[in-house]
Amino acid sequence: MNIERLSFTLLYFVMRYEKGPLYGSATIFKVDGKEIITTFNFHTDIKQIIPLEIIFD
């Protein structure tokens, strides 16, 4: 049986532009020492990207 060790990171970020911020998130999996981005989302509305529990905790 071949068992791989798998881990992931949820990354939230803000890009600051002249007309306003752009919020983003990415899911990054690490498999066999390599990092792979599996999702990448962005929006101008923070609530569309970052869960409210994190924003207002």
Total structural domains within the chain: 1
Is pTM beyond 0.85 here?
A: no
12 lies in a domain? yes
17 lies in a domain? yes
26 lies in a domain? yes
Model pLDDT, residue 4: 63
1 lies in a domain? no
28 lies in a domain? yes
Model pLDDT, residue 48: 93
Helix or strand holding residue 55 (H, E): helix 52-55
Domain membership of residue 11 as a residue range: 6-55
* Those residues with Cβ within 8 angstroms of residue 10's Cβ, 6 or more apart along the chain or in another chain: 25, 26, 27, 28
pLDDT digits (tens, 9 = 90+) for 1-45: 666 667 889 999 999 999 999 999 999 998 888 899 999 999 999
Model pLDDT, residue 52: 84
d(CA 27, CA 11): 6
